[in-house]
Amino acid sequence: MVGKWVAHLGLLETTMNISKKKLPCGYTVIPLIVNGTSPDKSVNDIAQRTFELLEQDSATDKLADNYTLKGLKLHDMIVYSVLWDYKKDQPVLVTGAQHMTTNTCRLFSRYYLFRDYRTGNSNSRYDKVDDFQVDLYHLEHIKERYPFIFWSREKGNKFFKRIRSIRPDVFEGWFVYSKNIELLWKDNWQGILYTNTTSPDLYIDELTFNE
């Protein structure tokens, strides 16, 4: 069911019942932002620490501007979470489900893996330290709200074809869109991996930049 559109927020006027949860990977997912705002004062301390550490850790990243408070676009996030390591008392990764248009939502938005949890293993792109569990947790909470849920990458869809073949346990029911699209903004060409619909072209049209 598609929720009511709220023009001033760009989010859905519905209440999301999502809370922190220990995942099978051993870490705990903590939603920091729900429907574009902080869901609970109890997460304020971890949220502040996460955002400060995120900006520090990503300072030399080529996309560093994306991980500042302004660049995260938290007001557009249906949910933005940190995966927290309680043993070391620090963040593992952050990732979000970003409202894009009335019927579409992007997973893995403003995804960032903290340096302490990175490895030199090239297969880590297909395994992930959380085995994709945070974004799948987000998916479970938004799939009734959005008929088109997707992951996008500037480098095109080759990675998506590869990950579908390597990880069918995770990406069963996901499909690679046949061509790159100009996603919402001029010259913003992206490959698309999508789920939750059997009629992708309708929603691709909604996502495609139109002057």
Residue 70: CATH number of its domain: 3.40.630
Q: What pLDDT, on a 0 to 100 scale, did the predictor assign at position 204?
A: 94
By percentage, how much of the chain surpasses pLDDT 70? 91
Same domain, 105 and 195: no
Answer whether 11's CB lies under 8 Å from 78's CB.
yes
User: Does 97 lie in the same domain as 46?
Assistant: yes
The arithmetic mean of pLDDT across residues 100-123, rounded, is: 89
- The per-residue pLDDT for range 27-81, each reduced to its tens digit, is 999 999 999 888 777 788 999 999 999 999 999 999 999 999 999 999 999 999 9
pLDDT category, 115, cuts 50, 70, 90?
very high
The CA-to-CA distance between both ends of the chain, in Å, stands at 29
Q: Is the pLDDT of residue 3 over 80?
A: no
Give the chain's mean pLDDT.
Answer: 89
Are 63 and 24 part of one and the same domain? yes
Structural contact between residues 83 and 92, judged by C-beta atoms closer than 8 angstroms: yes
pLDDT for res 197: 87
Residue 10 has pLDDT above 50, yes or no: no
Total domain count for the chain?
2
Structural domain span for residue 155: 150-211
Query: Could you give the CA distance from residue 33 to residue 183 in angstroms, rounded to a whole number?
Result: 24
* 163 and 118 inside one domain: no
H/E segment holding residue 68 = none
Cβ contacts of 69 within 8 Å, gap of 6 or more: 51, 55
Check residue 12 and give its pLDDT. 54
With a pLDDT cut of 90, the percent of the chain lying above it is 77
72 and 162 belong to one structural domain: no
Q: Are residues 142 and 165 in the same domain?
A: no
Of 146, 164, 181, the position where a domain reaches its end is 146
Q: Of 103, 119, 146, which residue is a domain's last?
A: 146
Indicate yes or no: pTM above 0.75: yes
Average pLDDT on 88-114 reads 96
Same domain membership, residue 30 and residue 14: yes
pLDDT score for 2: 29
What secondary structure does DSSP assign to 119-155, as a single string? -S-TTHHHH-TTTTHHHHHHHHHHTTT-SEEEEEETT
Whether residues 203 and 139 share a domain: the answer is no
For residues 48 and 119, membership in a common domain is answered with yes
Q: So what's the pLDDT on residue 121?
A: 63
pLDDT band (50, 70, 90) for residue 4: very low
Q: What is the pLDDT of residues 145-176, one digit of tens each?
A: 999 999 999 988 999 999 999 999 999 999 99
Determine the Cα–Cα distance for residues 119 and 91; give it in Å rounded to an integer: 16
In a shared domain, residues 114 and 33: yes
